[in-house]
Amino acid sequence: MNLREDIQAMGRRAREAAAHLAGINTETKNRTLIQMADSLGASFASLRKENEKDLKLAREQGLSPAMIDRLTLTEAVLENMAGSLRAVAALPDPVGEVVRMWRRPNGLEVGKVRIPLGVIGIIYESRPNVTADAAGLCLKSGNAVILRGGSEATHSNRAICMILQDVLRVTGVPVDTVQIIPTTDRQAIHEMLCLEDSIDVIIPRGGEGLIRFVVENSRIPVIKHYKGVCHIFVDESADLTMAERICINAKVQRPGVCNAMETLLVHERVASEFLHKIATSLQERGVELRGCPKTLQILPHIKKAEPDDWDKEYLDLTLSVRVVKHIREAIDHIRAHGSMHTESIITSSYERAEQFLREVNSSCVLVNASTRFSDGYQLGLGAEIGISTTKLHAFGPMGLEELTTTKFVVRGNGQVRE
């Protein structure tokens, strides 16, 4: 069989499934999600066997222990996957929500009603649990999904997908609601990105390389973020104990994720006091600091920040540090070097808090809180399908609502236009 034709056929089946799915009620969707959770929980032995095939190849190819760890399906990981599906079942169904409704002078009743996007393509390279998570979120929001996971997890992803499809067969939801591209051939991604008639949006999840590849090759709209170069600005009026606690959390709690802090900006009036304090705390936790010239005057033993450090997403225990003259310089630095992801100000000044919230044009702007809260679950969306740092359609963490759009529904009684 021909790869292009196979992928095109998957697209048509997804489109067909989406058409039926839009008419399926919330109860059926929730029942399906819960049965998926049960089914995954009951399939540990068989999943482990498929996962072992991936792990064997990974070891042969000399993947890093961290990569192998992420690839491994333990009972705890499986429980987590099942738990996520149950959590999605418990969330309100966004489909059918009347966002707004009003009456026109001529008596027309106009409503904006939430509907599914249609077919979502998800291209990812991370853990196999994304397979179940993404399928669950798409199903709940009434969308069919075509998944394309990383080649290192092929056996695991396929096995998970088959379990989910078996449940669909039983609960009466179209089985093509969840499909996975079965080949590791990279050409398959190319073919997928050409299906503009079948796929409504592509969401890539993974490293910057994957995302750039998708953006450059897609004819379908892409929702994405390239990277998170997140900043914290410690204002002169900051409670420095709070600032220290938040900076440590933002840098150290999980340095490998996109909402971790990469650059610390400190007001010059508190720079000496705060930097001595924070440097010790961070270095004790293994963080390497790279400073601007003014920072180096205060902390002469740290490394000098090179010009490109200000644009780097380290995803590691490394932190750039810059002393700024005032909030204006901090905001300008963020505008020049930020990735429109997440920034936080630590301050006790009402005026500067509001200025920062107003003028920083990132998708998530915080006052006196860790950047690590920029996350669908933490912000209270109940779930997260990804984060967008482009402004179209969605900006910031995306939950179920961001997998929908609205249509106009108009009820009349014979109106014509004059």
**Shortest distance (Å) from residue 50 CB to its own copies:** 34
49 binds its own copies (CB under 8 A): no
Spatial contact of 363 and 342, defined as CB atoms under 8 Å apart: yes
Nearer to its own copies, 57 or 369 (CB): 369
**Shortest distance (Å) from residue 409 CB to its own copies:** 5
C-alpha–C-alpha distance, residues 144 and 14, integer Å: 6
- How distant, in Å, are the alpha carbons of 167, 264, 379 from that of 124? 23, 30, 23
Nearer to its own copies, 117 or 168 (CB): 117
Q: Which stretch binds its own copies (CB under 8 A): 56-64, 103-111, 146-154, 287-295?
A: 103-111
Closest-CA residue to 79 (of 125, 37, 138, 21): 37
Sequence-separated (6 or more) residues with CB below 8 Å from residue 297: none
Residues 314-343, one symbol each (x = binds its own copies by CB under 8 A, - = not), give ---------------------x--------
For residue 356, give both structure tokens. Answer: 């920062």
Pick out residues in 134-193 that bind its own copies (CB under 8 A).
Answer: none
Nearer to its own copies, 304 or 411 (CB): 411
C-alpha–C-alpha distance, residues 317 and 284, integer Å: 11
Q: Which of 71, 117, 189, 275 binds its own copies (CB under 8 A)?
A: 117
Residues 376-405, one symbol each (x = binds its own copies by CB under 8 A, - = not), give --xxx---------xxxxxxxx-------x
Give the total of residues touching its own copies (CB under 8 A).
64
- How distant, in Å, are the alpha carbons of 75, 78, 127, 311, 312 from that of 69? 13, 14, 9, 29, 26
**Shortest distance (Å) from residue 289 CB to its own copies:** 20
Strands 318-324 and 109-116: unpaired
Q: Which stretch binds its own copies (CB under 8 A): 2-10, 50-58, 104-112, 170-178?
A: 104-112
Pick out residues in 233-292 that bind its own copies (CB under 8 A).
Answer: 239, 242, 245-246, 248-250, 253
Residues 343-372, one symbol each (x = binds its own copies by CB under 8 A, - = not), give ----------x---xxx-xxxxxxxxxx-x
**Shortest distance (Å) from residue 23 CB to its own copies:** 7
Nearer to its own copies, 44 or 377 (CB): 377
27 binds its own copies (CB under 8 A): no
Q: Which of 2, 61, 64, 413 binds its own copies (CB under 8 A)?
A: 413
* Maximum Cα–Cα distance across the chain: 79
Sequence-separated (6 or more) residues with CB below 8 Å from residue 162: none
Find tokens 């066997």 and name the residue.
49
Angle between helix axes 75-90 and 44-60 (nearest 10 degrees) is: 120
46 binds its own copies (CB under 8 A): no
Phi/psi zone of residue 309: left (φ > 0), alpha (ψ -120 to 50 degrees), beta? alpha
C-alpha–C-alpha distance, residues 282 and 292, integer Å: 17
C-alpha–C-alpha distance, residues 371 and 408, integer Å: 37
**Shortest distance (Å) from residue 201 CB to its own copies:** 6
**Shortest distance (Å) from residue 262 CB to its own copies:** 16
Alpha helices in 42-150 (DSSP H): 44-60, 65-71, 75-90, 129-140
Q: What are phi and psi of 347, to 5 degrees?
A: -160, 160
Residues 184-223, one symbol each (x = binds its own copies by CB under 8 A, - = not), give ----------------xx-------------------x-x
Note the residues at the interface with its own copies (CB under 8 A): 19, 22-23, 102, 104, 108, 110, 115, 117-118, 200-201, 221, 223, 239, 242, 245-246, 248-250, 253, 335, 353, 357-359, 361-370, 372-374, 378-380, 390-397, 405-417
